[in-house]
Amino acid sequence: MDIHKDHSSSRGHSHRDRGTDFLLVQDVHPPPRIELARERMLLCRLYLGLIRSINEDYGAAFAAQNDSSTFRTIGMYVFLRTVMCSPVGASKIASALKLPRVTVVRRLQEMVKQGYVERLGNAYVVTDKVNIPDLKNKLQKRIDMIVDAAKKLSEVNTPPWPADDTLK
């Protein structure tokens, strides 16, 4: 199929030579049919790197969820509300994340069972289990990923947003 054609083969090397996770931005020539492809590629690499690091940090049980993106999102929201000293109920989580309440309740029950979340009345908070070993270094690696992605995005020729004068 033409869609999956290797666009780098015309330059004499394949993206497979270095592994798809380690491509240099200047070495990649995305298909012109995809708008803002370089910016979107950098953001995708950032998102995937962050997701992978969370999966690695919290272990196989955390990553093995059938819909782990929903599981992670709910967990992050409960974490956010916990550090804001504002425990949150299932209905509020469902509303804030635009998810079915039944899905939220089921995922919260799984998190309680795994020990990441506990119930306080009708609300939920994260437990001390979120304090994983070597947390400072792991967070610094995530911060470095974000800073690196921001730097690379700032170096891309085409800004991914309209010029200031078009916003007025």
The domain that holds 105 is classified in CATH as 1.10.10.10
pLDDT > 90 in the chain, percent = 46
Report if residue 114 sits inside a domain.
yes
Specify if 2 maps to a domain.
Answer: no
- Calculate the average pLDDT of the chain: 80
Is residue 70 in a domain? yes
Specify whether the CB–CB gap between 116 and 126 falls below 8 A: yes
**Taking 90 as the threshold, does the pLDDT of residue 108 lie above it?**
yes
Looking at the domain assignment, is residue 92 inside a domain? yes
Q: What angle do CA 65, 144, 62 make, to 5 degrees?
A: 10
Considering the domain boundaries, does residue 103 fall inside one? Answer: yes
Q: What is the pLDDT of residue 126?
A: 97
Q: 57 or 122, which is more confident?
A: 122
- Is 135 inside any structural domain? yes
Is 164 a domain residue? Answer: no
Mean pLDDT is lowest, of 14-23, 46-55, 57-66, for 14-23
**What is the residue range of 89's domain?**
35-156
For 137-155, what is the mean pLDDT? 92
> Is 28 part of a structural domain of the chain?
no
Residue of higher predicted confidence among 15 and 73? 73
Contact indicator for 123, 89 with CB cutoff of 8 Å: yes
Indicate whether 1 pLDDT > 60. no
Give residue-wise pLDDT tens across range 24-53.
Answer: 556 667 788 988 888 888 899 999 988 888
Give the residue carrying structure tokens 């974490």.
Answer: 79
- Checking if the pLDDT of 58 tops 70, the result is yes
**Burial grade of 88 (CB within 10 A; 0-12, 13-18, 19 or more):** buried
Contact at 8 Å (CB) between 41 and 153? no
Number of domains observed in the structure of the chain: 1
